[in-house]
Structure 1
Amino acid sequence: MATKSLIQREKKRQKLAGKYHLIRRSSKKAQRKASSFSEKLEISAKLQSLPRNSAPTRLRRRCPSTGKARANYRDFGLSGYILREMVHAGLLPGATRSSW
């Protein structure tokens, strides 16, 4: 189980990423279209002035039930432990448990 502070920090990052999404996207588009090197430097300075946590690469996929950041399966959005429990209980249609 992840601590509540880590989960809240991740929610804050998601909120910031959504808030600055349009600014970041338009700045990057302008930087690609800029003709001179000085223009590109100005635009990159503007990008660097944005909050660091507003970058989408700083977001982390977390399990909604446990808050774990590791061993997450994209298809289900769950951590491996919860996924295994749900498969054994028969709550995920189409998923079969393995036994050998």
Structure 2
Amino acid sequence: MARKSLIEREKRRQKLEQKYYLIRRSSKKEISKAPSMREKKIEIHGKLQSSPRNSATIRLHRRCFLTGRPRANYRDFDLSGHILREMVHTCLLPGATRSSW
């Protein structure tokens, strides 16, 4: 189980990312469409930099839905590998086949 503080930090980052998503996206479009005037691009870039650092989508980290584990997550199930394996073995995930060799 992950520490509660790390899980809460991720939740706060997700809220900030959703809040500033449209602002950041429009600023990036403005930069790409702006003419090659250096001053204009620097001004738009400053506006983009004024948003909080944690509002960037790249800073989000996918975590396990049940345990909060930050590593070995499967996007389809939103679970970490060992939890996914346990659920497949107990037949809680329909359609998933367990491997045996």
Q: TM-score range by the shorter chain?
A: over 0.9
Map of 1:14-29 to 2, 5 A cutoff?
14-29=14-29
For residue 81 of structure 1, report the CA deviation from its aligned partner: 1.1
Does 2:81 correspond to 1:80? yes
Q: Partners of 1:66 and 1:18 in 2: how far apart? A: 23
Q: Which amino acid aligns with 2:10?
A: E
Describe the SS at the equivalent of 1:20. helix
Q: Partners of 2:28 and 2:50 in 1: how far apart? A: 13
Q: Partners of 1:13 and 1:3 in 2: how far apart? A: 16
TM-score w.r.t. length of structure 2:
0.95
Root-mean-square deviation (CA, aligned residues, Å) is: 0.8
Q: How many residues are matched?
A: 100
2:13 aligned residue: 13
Q: Which amino acid aligns with 1:48?
A: Q
Q: Partners of 1:13 and 1:23 in 2: how far apart? A: 16
Q: Which amino acid aligns with 1:19?
A: K
Which 5+ residue runs of structure 1 have no aligned equivalent? none
1:66 aligned residue: 67
Q: Which amino acid aligns with 2:69?
A: K
Runs of 4+ in 1 over 6 A off after TM superposition: none
